[in-house]
Chains A and B, each alone.
Chain A
Amino acid sequence: MEGCRQFLDLIPKEREWPVKRAEETSHGLSEEKKLELRLGPPGDDDWTIKHNNNSSQTTSRARDHESLLSFGYFSNSPCAQNPVLKSPWQQQTNPHFLHLPVKKESPHPSSNRAELHNSEKKAFSPAAPANTAVPNSSSAHKRTAPAPVVGWPPIRSFRKNLASGSSSKLASESGDVVQNKVSGQKPVDNGPKTLFVKINMDGIPIGRKVDLKAYNSYEKLSYAVDELFRGLLAAQSDSSARGIKDDEAGGKATGRLLDANGEYTLVYEDNEGDRMLVGDVPWHMFVSTVKRLRVLKSSELPTLYRGSKQGKLYLDASSRK
């Protein structure tokens, strides 16, 4: 593309910038860091070389951090002592990380952060020396960017609600279904007849959509979700590690998503962007605030959320409408 060609040509060979000085300092700094951060995982030299992208001589802080964190999943992690927590929805090989995202408008922002730091410290005991290496930062250094971060990316809630895309009238796939509905309708409506929300499941890259208006209770939803993913799970893996599949040798869904001992847990994202456990509020309230659903591995949740609370939910679910 024209633009790209120009782009390449315009990269100056020698910078007009007072960059050299800056490069030197950062180079110097990162050299120092490199030395200290080598007290990290074994095979450190190999790590840095392996994860070197383009720059041959400059070892940036970032790359060192990346090497440290490479035994986790992260690709673009900048900070040593406070690794960037990518969305917990992605595969994480390091189970020590805090799994609950920082909630928006959390009532205890500082306690959340404290939690984060504690869990990070536990996870990164080899990196402890790195904490002291970086200049001028205390352990309360706020450069962590755990995802999702409160108020990031900075867009108004008005847009967030659009972006989460649970509007039933979006006809981007094929307009036909919706067109038939709309063309015969009077302008004034009692509200959308469908409420499709996205649903993703841990371990399955492709999501589905469910129409929440097709159900009137948590149980029914749970069964439906179970059915939706069972097929995908079966197709995708032959492993016996999948809890749900184990039980369904005969292919029958048992709706264990709300079950205390289920291997999977159903959570949802509400209209304020917060991640919530499914089943706490009456069904109609749930439907009015839910934006999307997620099926998580129960092992990823703190024990607080497993066990008795969910068991009670399951028993009570039948009494909710």
Chain B
Amino acid sequence: MNYFPEEVLEHVFDFLTSHRDRNAVSLVCKSWYSVERFSREKVFIGNCYAVNPERLIARFPRVRSLTLKGKPHFADFNLVPHDWGGYVYPWIEAMAKSGINLEELRLKRMVVSDESLELLAKSFPNFKSLVLVSCEGFTTDGLAAIASNCRFLRELDLQENEVDDRKGQWLSCFPDTCTSLVSLNFACLKGEVNVAALERLVARCRNLRSLRLNHAVPLDALQKILVQAPQLNDLGTGSFLHDPDSEAYCKLKNAIKKCKSIRSLSGFLDVNTRCLPAVYPICTNLTSLNLSYAPGIYSSELIKLICHCKKLERLWILDTIGDKGLGVVASTCKELQELRVFPSDLYDGVGNAAVTEEGLVAISAGCPKLNSLLYFCQQMTNAALITVAKNCPNFIRFRLCTLDPTIPDAVTNQPLDEGFGAIVQSCKGLKRLSVSGLLTDQVFLYIGMYAEQLEMLSIAFAGDSDKGMLYVLNGCKKLKKLEIRDSPFGNVALLADVGKYETMRSLWMSSCEVTYGACKTLAEKMPRLNVEIINEGEQIEASPDDRHRVEKMYLYRTLVGPRRDAPEFVWTL
């Protein structure tokens, strides 16, 4: 293809933003591969062990933005031992040594040490954006290093990380010359912050658009901050507790009214419901609302608030809202695209507050644009799911989680196979699916038959036999991630099509029926897979019996062979 000079090709490729498109383009021919690799600035690595830093740097020397994901998804639910891996340090070290001009780093489920953060802060003079999701291993000292050294920092976004709060003054470490912040999210931090320093920081960062505070920032500080930053688009309140009859509260109400640009609201980590009306004025323009960190707000209050939110596109909420509340959402939020309903009270056995299939059906009837769902519910029925499938054929993500993982249809006591079958049949664009409830092999037959675009599937306590897993492996051509726990799938299913795993990012199987022998066989046949066995706490035998069941297996495709940082209890076969 010598039609165009390279500069033209590069210019054309500039319009390709998705990494999948760029990957495709680089496969066309050698010259396209070459042009593409020198012009790629954003690199996405879905599994940090699939490649290594050296290969990244060799192929994409001009990388400026790196996204890395580490631990398998089930690590979020305590199924992966603490020091399994996923360290970011080697990546930062390698890029620093090679003079990469790193500007943005986005990490998910990785272990980030303070040393990594310090090295990051000192090695990349143009560093602008740090996004950490569900990471761990660092303290506020590391944040202090970032604040002190990154002169052009625009974004510091910490989402649901486990941070050791040293109660230091990391916020005060932003120098007075720092005026570049656009986005600051420290909602997950547990400790105190220097509120005065925060107020000054907000005052001087005139481009600040997104600010999410932690619970330690009290309401009167919020008021002062909002006065300084009425241009905010996205606000996460800290503590929302005050005497609603006080002057401070009154000032807050006025301050909020002036924030006409707020489109996204979250926080309310500690809340006095009588203070909620202060936000009503901004509700009319909200497109995103996250009240899922506020178990203290009762259904009636939630309903009152939501009645104002007619333009809502994204809603994250707790099941305290109840079916009735969801009915109100359905009749109010006609633009709703994404709904997540989280469980509020986990330990009382039968939840007092909970949602059922009724709420979901109501939502599906009222919100035809719904395309993404995460729904924790007390019970479900096939009839409801069939109705939902009819009402909302546009689902891209459908994750249903019954609080009792093997509960049958609440009315007929049948498995929920038919319901989920209806979903996959109707939603032709479905990319992500999580199933729960009583399920037989039948549901997997449906998934294999209909879920042609499915990329990620999560299975727990489901199926009867190897057939279930086989239906999925044979049928879902675009499958990238499969994670299974506590299901009776074994060696026959695992070994039926070993080549399939190279087309996928990863497979997780825990508490299933696969044995050591089968895993070894698989590892032998497929040298470009890492087949990891995680032995938690069991005696580490030198050579376990092949017939022994494997408790946890995680396999993934890789270009770089077994990883060298695996801990003792992880064996790569």
In the complex, chain B residues whose CB is within 8 Å of the CB of A22? 417-418, 442
Asked if A109 meets B362 with Cβ closer than 8 Å, knowing A11-B386, A26-B442, A62-B414, the reply is no
Q: Is B412 an interface residue (CB 8 A)?
A: yes
In the complex, chain B residues whose CB is within 8 Å of the CB of A62? 408, 413-415, 438
Bound form: Cα–Cα A156–B390 in Å: 31
Q: Is A321 an interface residue (CB 8 A)?
A: no
Partner pick for B345 among A17, A148, A165, CB 8 A cutoff: A165
Asked if A76 meets B407 with Cβ closer than 8 Å, knowing A136-B465, A183-B243, the reply is yes
In the complex, chain A residues whose CB is within 8 Å of the CB of B111? none
Contact status B384-A7, CB under 8 Å: yes
| Interface 9-mer from A36-44, A83-91, A303-311 | A83-91
Contact status A153-B403, CB under 8 Å: yes
Partner pick for A107 among B241, B343, B537, CB 8 A cutoff: B537
Contact status A135-B404, CB under 8 Å: no
Contact status B293-A171, CB under 8 Å: no
Q: Is A249 an interface residue (CB 8 A)?
A: no
Contact status B464-A137, CB under 8 Å: yes
In the complex, chain B residues whose CB is within 8 Å of the CB of A138? 513
| Interface 9-mer from B60-68, B227-235, B266-274, B555-563 | B266-274
Asked if A153 meets B376 with Cβ closer than 8 Å, knowing A171-B241, A172-B273, A178-B241, the reply is yes
Contact status A26-B415, CB under 8 Å: yes
Q: A87: shortest Cβ distance to chain B, in Å?
A: 4
Q: Is B565 an interface residue (CB 8 A)?
A: no
Contact status A78-B78, CB under 8 Å: no
Contact status B349-A170, CB under 8 Å: no
Asked if A136 meets B413 with Cβ closer than 8 Å, knowing A1-B362, A187-B221, the reply is no
Q: B78: shortest Cβ distance to chain A, in Å?
A: 5
Contact status A141-B74, CB under 8 Å: no
List A2-26 residues whose CB lies under 8 Å from chain B: 2-4, 6-7, 10-12, 15, 17, 19, 22, 25-26
In the complex, chain A residues whose CB is within 8 Å of the CB of B376? 153, 155
Q: A258: shortest Cβ distance to chain B, in Å?
A: 22
Q: Is B100 an interface residue (CB 8 A)?
A: no
Contact status A183-B242, CB under 8 Å: yes
Q: Is B429 an interface residue (CB 8 A)?
A: no
Bound form: Cα–Cα A169–B269 in Å: 9
List B418-434 residues whose CB lies under 8 Å from chain A: 418, 421-422, 425
Partner pick for A187 among B195, B296, B464, CB 8 A cutoff: B195
Contact status B346-A109, CB under 8 Å: no
Q: A9: shortest Cβ distance to chain B, in Å?
A: 9
Q: Is A149 an interface residue (CB 8 A)?
A: yes
Contact status B387-A11, CB under 8 Å: yes
List A49-106 residues whose CB lies under 8 Å from chain B: 53-55, 58, 60, 62-63, 66, 76, 78-79, 84, 86-87, 89-90, 104-106
Partner pick for B218 among A15, A107, A175, A187, CB 8 A cutoff: A187
Q: A105: shortest Cβ distance to chain B, in Å?
A: 6
Q: Mark B78-109, 1 if CB is under 8 A from A, else 0.
A: 11010000000000000000000000000000
Q: A110: shortest Cβ distance to chain B, in Å?
A: 6
Q: B390: shortest Cβ distance to chain A, in Å?
A: 6
Bound form: Cα–Cα A3–B358 in Å: 8
Closest to A164 in B: B347
Partner pick for A183 among B160, B246, B486, CB 8 A cutoff: B246
Q: Mark A177-191, 1 if CB is under 8 A from B, else 0.
A: 011101101011100
Q: Is B517 an interface residue (CB 8 A)?
A: no
In the complex, chain A residues whose CB is within 8 Å of the CB of B295? 162-163, 165, 170, 172
Partner pick for B358 among A4, A109, A142, A163, CB 8 A cutoff: A4
Partner pick for B78 among A54, A142, A151, A169, CB 8 A cutoff: A151
Q: Is B9 an interface residue (CB 8 A)?
A: no
In the complex, chain B residues whose CB is within 8 Å of the CB of A233? none
Main secondary structure of the interface of A (DSSP, over half): loop
Asked if A78 meets B408 with Cβ closer than 8 Å, knowing A109-B536, A155-B343, A187-B195, the reply is yes
Contact status B417-A172, CB under 8 Å: no
Closest to A291 in B: B347
Bound form: Cα–Cα A279–B425 in Å: 55
Q: Is A154 an interface residue (CB 8 A)?
A: yes
Closest to B407 in A: A76
Contact status B442-A89, CB under 8 Å: no
Contact status A53-B412, CB under 8 Å: yes
Closest to A88 in B: B349
Asked if A151 meets B74 with Cβ closer than 8 Å, knowing A3-B361, A142-B461, A172-B296, the reply is yes
Contact status A150-B78, CB under 8 Å: yes
Closest to B512 in A: A142
Contact status A53-B408, CB under 8 Å: no
Q: Is B170 an interface residue (CB 8 A)?
A: no
In the complex, chain B residues whose CB is within 8 Å of the CB of A152? 77, 405, 460
Contact status A4-B361, CB under 8 Å: yes
List B536-570 residues whose CB lies under 8 Å from chain A: 536-538, 549, 551
Q: Is A131 an interface residue (CB 8 A)?
A: no
Q: Is A160 an interface residue (CB 8 A)?
A: yes
In the complex, chain B residues whose CB is within 8 Å of the CB of A147? 349, 404
Bound form: Cα–Cα A150–B80 in Å: 11
Q: Mark B391-410, 1 if CB is under 8 A from A, else 0.
A: 10000000001011111101
Partner pick for A150 among B79, B241, B383, B404, CB 8 A cutoff: B79
In the complex, chain B residues whose CB is within 8 Å of the CB of A66? 413
Q: B492: shortest Cβ distance to chain A, in Å?
A: 10
A2, A3, A104 — most chain B CB neighbours (10 Å): A3
Q: A173: shortest Cβ distance to chain B, in Å?
A: 9
Bound form: Cα–Cα A273–B425 in Å: 38
Closest to A159 in B: B342
Cβ contacts A to B, 19 pairs, < 8 Å: A7-B358, A10-B387, A53-B412, A55-B412, A55-B413, A78-B406, A105-B78, A109-B537, A136-B488, A142-B486, A143-B488, A155-B77, A155-B376, A165-B295, A170-B271, A171-B296, A176-B243, A179-B242, A188-B195
Closest 7 CB pairs of A and B: A3-B362, A172-B296, A151-B77, A107-B537, A175-B272, A87-B349, A179-B243
Chain A positions near chain B (C-beta within 8 angstroms): 1-4, 6-7, 10-12, 15, 17, 19, 22, 25-26, 53-55, 58, 60, 62-63, 66, 76, 78-79, 84, 86-87, 89-90, 104-110, 113, 134-138, 140-145, 147-160, 162-165, 167, 169-172, 175-176, 178-180, 182-183, 185, 187-189, 269, 292
Chain B positions near chain A (C-beta within 8 angstroms): 74, 76-79, 81, 134, 160, 162, 188, 192, 194-195, 215, 217-221, 239, 241-244, 246, 248, 269-275, 292-293, 295-298, 327, 330-331, 342-350, 358, 361-362, 365-366, 376, 379, 383-384, 386-387, 390-391, 401, 403-408, 410-415, 417-418, 421-422, 425, 438, 440, 442, 458, 460-461, 464-466, 485-488, 511-513, 536-538, 549, 551
User: Besides the contacts A153-B403, A170-B270, what 8 more A-B pairs have beta carbons closer than 8 Å?
Assistant: A10-B390, A22-B418, A142-B513, A154-B77, A155-B76, A172-B298, A182-B239, A187-B218
